[in-house]
Amino acid sequence: MKKTVSSFLAGVAAVGAFALGTVATPALAWEPDKTVEFIVPAGSGGGADQMARMIQGVIQKHNLMSQPLVVINRGGGSGAEGFLDVKSSEGNPDKIIITLSNVFTTPMATGVPFSWKDLTPVAMMALDEFILWVNAQSPYKTPAEYIDAVKEGGPSKFQMGGTGSKQEDQIITAAIEQNTGAKFTYVPYKGGGTVAAQLVGNHITSSVNNPIEAVSQWRAGELRPLCVFDSQRVQLTDKVTADMSWGDIPTCTEAGLPIEYLMLRGIMMPPGVSQEQVDYYVDVLSKVRETPEWKDFMAKGAFNTSFMKGEEYHAWLEKAEATHHDLMDKAGFLKK
């Protein structure tokens, strides 16, 4: 269930409760004794990079760790570089990684010798929405109008920009094609920030970018959201633009495009770490989630604020892997 953004007074109360909580928390059985590497298996400027750097900033501001946390981008091979780095760091508790759904899609699409089961799940921090965006100067106001134009104009005239190949953005694009019969030229970029900039510049005609990767361009009147790929509307009613909130964006299903897709924003560690070490990071991340900065970040990025750890998180990962295998099989993206 998504949560609405807290009021100012509730945020003030949360700050007080947070401060008291940090004082009362007993010493943990383990904590890092050197700089911790925070791996981002994607390029700079995208949603994963922004979330990682936001977590880093909150930890530093509120002194949640005694050692520095340093963000390192390793997005080569659609994230394989980062995943293999963490996989090969067995038993190293001074390294964590933020995972997107490419934790599933990259090994399926490339055959790289990696599975999420090679890592140690820590916690789901949130789920990220996907929105169908067009340039604000385009004539399209609904998904149906846009899809009809794509059907008529074909892939030579209509391009879908996305992050990476055979990853989340292209999976959604393939699902749109399968559902509607429309055909796009898919154009991959290294990060969601670049995708948004390319759409503003009319170098592509649409994208299925995450909210956080396009919100500044939407607020500036440069992009237009057509629908959100979720089962329900985003439960945020504060205006982002002069006349629209996230909650005003229809779901793609209610707009006649019955496709749903949410992306993981989770934290994992190398294999072979202890439960005490996992518990340390769960504790730190739980404190991050209680800060007003995190809650504001969740609202601005229109995230689904789901949180999981332990067996619940593990079971979710198992199910998500099976779902992605089915989606990629239908799209013809599986490495044979």
pLDDT band at 211 (very low <50, low <70, confident <90, very high): very high
Percent of the chain with pLDDT over 70: 92
pLDDT band at 77 (very low <50, low <70, confident <90, very high): confident
What is the pLDDT averaged over residues 70-93? Answer: 94
Beta strands in 164-285 (DSSP E): 185-189, 206-207, 223-228, 263-269
Report whether pLDDT(37) > 80: yes
* Sign of CA pseudo-dihedral 39, 45, 48, 54: positive
pLDDT band at 191 (very low <50, low <70, confident <90, very high): confident
Identify the pLDDT of residue 27: 57
What is the pLDDT averaged over residues 147-155? Answer: 97
Distance (Å, whole) CA 57 – CA 37? 14
pLDDT band at 212 (very low <50, low <70, confident <90, very high): confident
Tokens of 223: 């992009």
Sheet holding 36-40, edge to edge: 69-73, 36-40, 95-99, 263-269, 120-128, 308-309
Identify the pLDDT of residue 195: 95
Neighbours of 27 (CB within 10 A): 6
Tokens of 177: 């094609």
Higher pLDDT, 173 or 193: 173
Report whether pLDDT(12) > 90: no
What is the pLDDT averaged over residues 288-314? Answer: 95
Phi, psi dihedral angles at 27 (to 5 degrees): -65, 140
pTM above 0.75, yes or no: yes
Higher pLDDT, 77 or 295: 295
pLDDT in tens, 224-268: 999 999 999 999 999 999 999 999 999 999 999 999 999 999 999
Identify the pLDDT of residue 28: 57
**Can you list the domains of the chain with their CATH numbers?**
8-128+262-331 (3.40.190.150), 131-248 (3.40.190.10)
Distance (Å, whole) CA 303 – CA 3? 9
Report whether pLDDT(133) > 70: yes
Q: What is the DSSP letter of 25?
A: P
Terminal Cα distance for the chain, rounded? 37
Helix/strand/coil percent split, the chain, to 5: 45, 20, 40
Q: Mean pLDDT in the chain? A: 90
Report whether pLDDT(287) > 80: yes
pLDDT band at 9 (very low <50, low <70, confident <90, very high): very low
pLDDT in tens, 324-333: 999 899 999 9
Distance (Å, whole) CA 265 – CA 129? 10
